[in-house]
Structure formats: structure tokens, C-alpha cells
A and B are shown apart, each in its own frame.
Chain A
Amino acid sequence: MSKAPTSTILAIAIVLIVVAGIAGYFVGQTAAPAATVTVTAPLATVTTTVVSTVTVTATPAPTTPPPVAKFKIAVVSDIGGRGDLSFNDMAFKGADEAARDFGLEVLEFISKTEADYIPNLRTAALDPNIKLIVGVGFLLSEALVEVALEFPNKYFAGIDTDCQEKIVKTKYPDKYPLPNLLDIKYEEHKGSALVGALGCLLAIHYNYPHIGAVLGIEIPVLWKFEIGYKWGCNWAVEWFRKNFPAEYEAKSRIAGNLLATDPKSRVLWTYTGTFSDITKGYLAAKEMYAKRAVAVYNIAGPLGLGINQAVEEIVKPLGLTMGPPFWIGVDANQDWINPGFVVASMMKRVDKGVYYATYLVLIGKFEEVVRKYKGVLLLGIGTEIEGVLMEGISVSTLADLDEFIEMGVTAEKLLGKPVLPMPPAEIKRRVKEMRDSVPSWIWAAVAELERLIREGEVQVPLPLTEDDVKYWRGILG
């Protein structure tokens, strides 16, 4: 290794000059932190916007105006972050709406790996202007508890998390419930039961033997979707037998109708082990449609794109403008992605949860609500929080579509590129046409199940442990 020393020295000199130049540039810049938008939301605006966004049955009576002058909210995403068109995007939608309505600023912290959770939460908490930090996704539970303990004067909200009941209660029982930490959870099993019933009745009506579900990585949240969906299918079969006994007999004898299928094989399902590789969603859905599933439920965020592609390749050559076959959207209203072929979406209003948490901080009632509800808000069908109807779960309706089309239109204006697959009016027309083509007794049955759930007359199973899941799989397939 006889390298000429001059070359090394020359090189070092060059590097030093480059580094010095870069450093000098930075010093000259005096990079200032991001500018802060400071708008103090007047009380009246806060109330009216809440009225318009959250369905209010009893007007909340905040006594003090929002005391914060400079106020930001931070959203710390799960890995994957934005762009799943469902769970994470809904959280950001809520934050963006809150920012718009209350004049705040949203900072996005995207977690690239799970190792990012604590550093991201801490970074957000260290920012003096950030008052509320929202962690999106149950995997952030431990990290949220750690950081919430460290920063008692900041507020933390977790979507889908199990901080208070599972961690604080066992690890720090004297601090339970932690006053600055709110878990916002959803009753996905109920919504999944509704779309399960919908899919099942579609299969009976159109003479298909199966319905399908493509799931992501097997985690407890997805158990709720899976079992709820299968349970809903079973409920619908019973409902059909009770209400249409003659048709039930007739359809049971048609080979290839769901009623003639072995009860444990009615729902085709598989976990794919991914929330990102859309090819897997495509492959799984393709097989389900090849086995004649009338609708496939997307329980894997972006994998819905793969499911959609599997539907497209069936319907395009046939020139169909509406299903069957269908697919079923998740979390957001995904009906617009392929109008006519997404029969409905199981909406999990993560946006409402984020919005509400921001609202609570603004009106200074965050800790009060935490105390009252032991730190856990469970949003579902017919939930009331502080006298406000906070429905976190619903099956998408035609009216819901506007809100999401509006998002698309805004994005199109911003980007100058098409986001929606067709003009808004056309989307609405196609969705409406598709919905009208589905017999009204099916919609009525879904509405009836919703009423029964709301009134507590039926209980959708809620699997929390592996044993629960095994038990229900043993019954439902």
C-alpha cells in the first residue's frame, strides 16, 4: 500500500473545503424552525364546526375559551404511514380537518420502523408548541405510555391502542388512569358483522357460493374484523331463513348458492402477512373470485388495490358497469375507488377520534374525559361521549360519499392531476345505480342488524384472546 501521501493530503483538503463550504452555507441560512400559524379559534367557531362535523345531540357547553395561543398537533404514524387509503390516511384526515376548523398546524411524524416510535413521540413532545400528540396504531401502545409518563403536561391520544387498561393498569397501578393519555378504540367487529351480512345476502341473492376476506398481518385488531365478518354472514343466513322460508328452501337446493355451501366454508379468508405487498392481495382475491366469491372484504389497507385489480380483470372483458362481483372497502369510504364494484365500505371513523381529541384539548376537558371514561373511548355503533353522539363505526352510505369525493376534488386542485377515477357526478351516479340494483330487502336486513346491535339485542362476538379466536373459528370456519 504505497499510496502517494500527496494525494491523501490533497483529498483531505478538498473534503475540508467542501465541508467548510456547506457549514458556512448553513450558518448563513440560520435555519429557523418551521413558521407557526397562530390563530386563536373563537369559541363560536369551535362549537359550530363541531356541530357540523360531529353529530351533536346535546350541545357541549365549554365554559372557557381555548387558552392556547400557539398550538400544534402532532400525528405520529404507524409504519407505512400515509398512503394506505384507509387507516393512517383517516387519522391524517381528522387532524387536517381539526387544523382547518380550529386554525392549528399539523406536524406529521412518519415512523419508518418500530424503532422510531419512542424517538418520534419524544421529538413531538419536546416541541414547545405541540400540545397534543396522536399515535396512530396499536403497536404504539408501550411507547405512548413511556412518553406520556415523561411529559405529564402534554396530551397524548392513541388510536386503537391499549395503553390504559393493559399497560398502565398493570405496570403503574397507582397512576391509573394516566390523566394525559387517551385510548381511542373502535368496535370493528360490529361494523364487520354488518358488511358480513351484506355480503352473505348478496351471495344468496345472486347465487354465489362464497364471500371472501383478505386480511393483512394477523394481529388482534384484525381478529375483530375476521370473526365479526363471519358472524355477520351466519346471522344473515338465519335472518333469511326466518324471513323468507320458502326462498330459503328453494335456494338451498341450488348448487352454487351460499345456502348450499358447507356452513364452515361460506367465508373464504386468508391472512397475507403484509400490509404493503399489493401482489399478495391480488393473488388471494383472484383465487377467491375464481372460487366464485360474490364480494371480498379488504381488511389489509392498501392491498385493496390488489383486490380491485382482481375484480377489474373479471368485469372489464365482460363490459360490466356494476357488480357482482364486488369488493368491500375498509376504514375509509372506499366506494369511490371503483364506483359500481365497491358495494359498501366498513367505515371506521378514525378521523372523528382524532378530531374529537383535538377538540377536547382545545376546550380544556381532556383530563376530565380521561377520568370519566378511565382513559378509554370506545367508539362504535350508537356510542355517546359527553352527550355527543360519537359513532365511530358505520357502513358507508351514499351521503358519506360526498365528503370523500370532496377530498379527492381538493387533492386534484392541489396537484393538477386526476385523483378520482371519473368526474364526481359520474361517481355518484354509478354508486347510486349500483346501490339501487341491490334489492332493497338486503339493505333493510343490514339496517335491521344495525338496529339490533344498537339496541343491544344481539351481541357480536368480540374475540380478545387466541382461545376466543380458535373457538369462533371452530364454529364459523
Chain B
Amino acid sequence: MRGLLRFSIAITAFAALLAVLSLVGLSPKSLMEAALLAMTPLALAAVGESLNQKGGVVNIGIDGIFLITATVAVFGAEEFGSGYAGMLVGACVGAFLGFVHGVLSTYARANQIVAGIGMNIFAYGFVPYFLMAAWGFPGIRVPPSWVLVPIRVVTVGEVSVRISEFSVLAVLLAPLLHLLLYGTPVGLRIRACGESPEAADVAGVSVYGIRIALSTLGGALAGLGGAFMSLAWFGGVVKEISAGRGFIALACVVASGLEPLLSLGFAFLFGFSEALAYAVAVTPGVKEVVPYHLVLSIPYVVTLAIVAVFVGRRRFPRALGQPYVKD
């Protein structure tokens, strides 16, 4: 009940904010569209990663997965001549990378943080190399527009809104995974793997199996997010396309205390404040008063402030980040 109350308070506050913004001449519709687009890759990755962490594996290499899949998805889309095929390629490659991370963190007992950082660094080097090697042109690839994933226009009465089906998918996935986590025996097992792998093992749960599966799922969702960035959002890929968004997704996960629903909320919050920052920055007369550098750091300040003021201490699974060693 308390959750519902908080949720309705948040929604009311947000609606009030939108009303205020439209009073000062900003378009809430355009802001919402931009926020939904910016939210989608963050939310996909964050929802997957929160499940992954519930099972006890931290994947800090999301940024690397974003980068690699954003690039490979364009490659796949051009190869198969379809944007959706590209999205699938992105998800598959993401799943593969997540699988590798899962194997490293279970059977190989790797330090998960180190492995994740390694993944990131690898991606920062691999992507420029791949761009050069695959397309002979450094740093950028603009695929022909027919292989892109179109963004739908939904008309409700007078208003038509631009929205991507993947944004809808991200929004739907969060409650689904929430239900999976808290309403099914599988969810219980997942949480057991994160809290007490020994007990789970004794109870006959395959800790490694579940962890690898979750890591693969998390990787696939992050891969979908990466592919979304290049194929649906921008219609092209540059070597720094992720621009640290993987870390922002990670921050959403940690800030939400590994709850899929809340991490969706944080992803939206970040996407919205980023859109808002630019809406404010281009408004005439603002730059004379506030240096635009400060305006552009709005998303980071807002996220930090919300975490610091409203969220604070989180309880994390006891075995989070610990390799489980079978005796």
C-alpha cells in the first residue's frame, strides 16, 4: 500500500511539474518524447541488470555492452537489410557478452568488478577498430535509412505522439520481471542465489546455472538497449555512442536497490532531466543568468539529489559480487 501511495504522490508531483513547464513555454509533449527515447536503453539495461544483481552477479561492463552492440547491430542490420534483425543481432551479441561474464563470474570465480571493467576497456578499443575494419571509415557509420527501426506515431484524438515499441517493451518488462522476482518460485530461487548461495545449493538450486542465465538475460537486454541507441534513436553509430550511459544505467540499478520497477523510474527520471536540461539551455535568456555548463549538469545533480535525499541506504544481497565456490 505504501508503495502505491508513494507512486501516486510521485505521479502527481510529476504532473504538476509538467504543468509548470508548459506555463513557462516548454512543450511537455516534446519533453516526454525525448525522455522516453533517452529512457529506453537505460531502462532495458537497468531492469536486466537489477535482476542479474539480485542473483548475485554485478556486471559493471554494461557500458561496453552498449558500445559493442550498438556497433554490431548496425552491422547486422545492413547485413540482413532490416532494422529488427539488427536489434536481434544486438540482443544476441549482448547475450553472448553477458554469458561470457556469467561464466567468468561463476566457474572461473573471476572478480566481477575487474571483469566488467575489462569488458568496458575492451569495448572502448574494439569499437573504433571494428568501425574502421568493417566499414573502412573511422569513428562513424551512417547506415542507409531503410535499415533503421522506425519510431511509431500514435495518434490519440488530437495529439499524435512519437513512441518506439521498444520503449513500451521496456516499460512492460519492469513489472513483468518484478512479478517474476516476487511472485514465482523462480524468483525465490534467484533471490536465494543472491542472499545465500550455500543454502540455495543445498536446496538443490543450480547457483551457477541461474547466475549464468541471469547474466545472459541482462546482457541481452543491455544489447537491445545498445542496438536501440544506434538503430532507432540516432540512425547511426559513432565510436563514443554510449557516452557513459552504461554507468548511468548502473547508477539507476544501485539507486533503486536492485528493484526493477524503481530502476525503471530512475531511468525515466534521468532521461527526463536530460531532455529538460537541453530544453532549458536553448531557452533564450537563460544563459545570461546561469552558465550553461551548470544547466547541462542538471540530470546528474537531480539524480544525485534524489538518491541522497529520498533513497539513501540500500540493502544489497549478501552474496552480491562474491564468487560462489562449491566445496
Contacts and interface: CB of A to CB of B under 8 A. Distances in A.
Contact, chains A and B (beta carbon distance below 8 A): yes
Interface of A: 80-85, 110, 212, 262, 264-265, 268-274, 276-280, 282-284, 286-288, 290-291, 302, 305-306, 308-309, 312-313, 316-317, 337, 411, 414-415, 417-419, 421, 473, 477
Contacts of B140: 83-85, 302, 305
Given A81-B138, A287-B282, A317-B160, A302 B234 contact: no
Contacts of B277: 283
Contact of B275 (A85, A274, A283, A414): A283
Given A283-B34, A284-B278, A264 B284 contact: yes
A421 B145 contact: yes
B296 A273 contact: yes
A305 B296 CA distance: 20
B285 A265 contact: yes
A277 B282 CA distance: 17
B144 A270 contact: no
Interface string B291-313: 01100100000000000000000
A158 to B, nearest CB: 21
Given A305-B236, A417-B78, A82 B137 contact: yes
B12 interface: no
A137 to B, nearest CB: 15
B162 interface: yes
Given A276-B240, A421-B144, A411 B234 contact: no
B188 to A, nearest CB: 39
Q: Which 8 A-B pairs have CB atoms at the shortest separation, nearest pair first?
A: A83-B139, A265-B284, A290-B30, A83-B140, A283-B278, A277-B243, A82-B138, A270-B281
Given A83-B138, A291-B282, A305-B236, A286 B145 contact: no
A83 B282 contact: no
Contacts, number: 124
A309 B138 contact: no
Contacts of B296: 272-273
B239 interface: yes
Interface in B262-294: 274-275, 277-279, 281-285, 287-288, 292-293
Interface in B38-93: 38, 78
B240 A415 contact: no
A282 B233 contact: yes
B241 interface: yes
A421 B278 CA distance: 29
10 contacts: A82-B139, A83-B140, A270-B281, A286-B275, A291-B283, A306-B234, A309-B234, A312-B145, A411-B136, A418-B144
Contacts of A308: 235
Contacts of B284: 262, 264-265, 268, 477
A83 B278 contact: no
B281 A273 contact: no
Contacts of A337: 142
B150 A277 contact: no
A282 B234 contact: yes
A81 B139 CA distance: 8
Contact of B240 (A277, A291, A305, A309): A277
Contacts of B319: none
A269 B282 contact: yes
B27 interface: yes
Contacts of A264: 284-285
A331 B73 CA distance: 30
B241 A284 contact: no
B151 interface: yes
A81 B233 CA distance: 24
Contact of B292 (A85, A271, A313, A316): A271
Given A270-B281, A276-B243, A279-B243, A305 B131 contact: no
A204 B137 CA distance: 39
B238 interface: yes
B139 A80 contact: yes
User: For A82, A268, A283, A421, which residue has the most chain B Cβ atoms within 10 angstroms?
Assistant: A283
Nearest to A418: B144
Contact of A287 (B137, B153, B236, B278): B278
User: For B138, B162, B277, which residue has the most chain A Cβ atoms within 10 angstroms?
Assistant: B138
A313 B162 contact: yes
B195 to A, nearest CB: 31
Contacts of B274: 283
Contacts of A278: 234, 236, 238, 241
Nearest to B240: A276
Nearest to B78: A417
Contacts of A283: 34, 38, 274-275, 277-278
B190 to A, nearest CB: 33
A273 B150 CA distance: 29
B27 A302 contact: no
Interface in B135-173: 135-140, 142-145, 150-151, 153, 160, 162
Contacts of B150: 316
Given A270-B292, A283-B275, A287-B282, A305 B238 contact: yes
A150 B119 CA distance: 41
A309 B241 CA distance: 14
B246 to A, nearest CB: 13
B233 A279 contact: yes
Contact of B238 (A83, A212, A313): A83
A83 B141 CA distance: 8
A279 B38 contact: yes
A415 B135 contact: yes
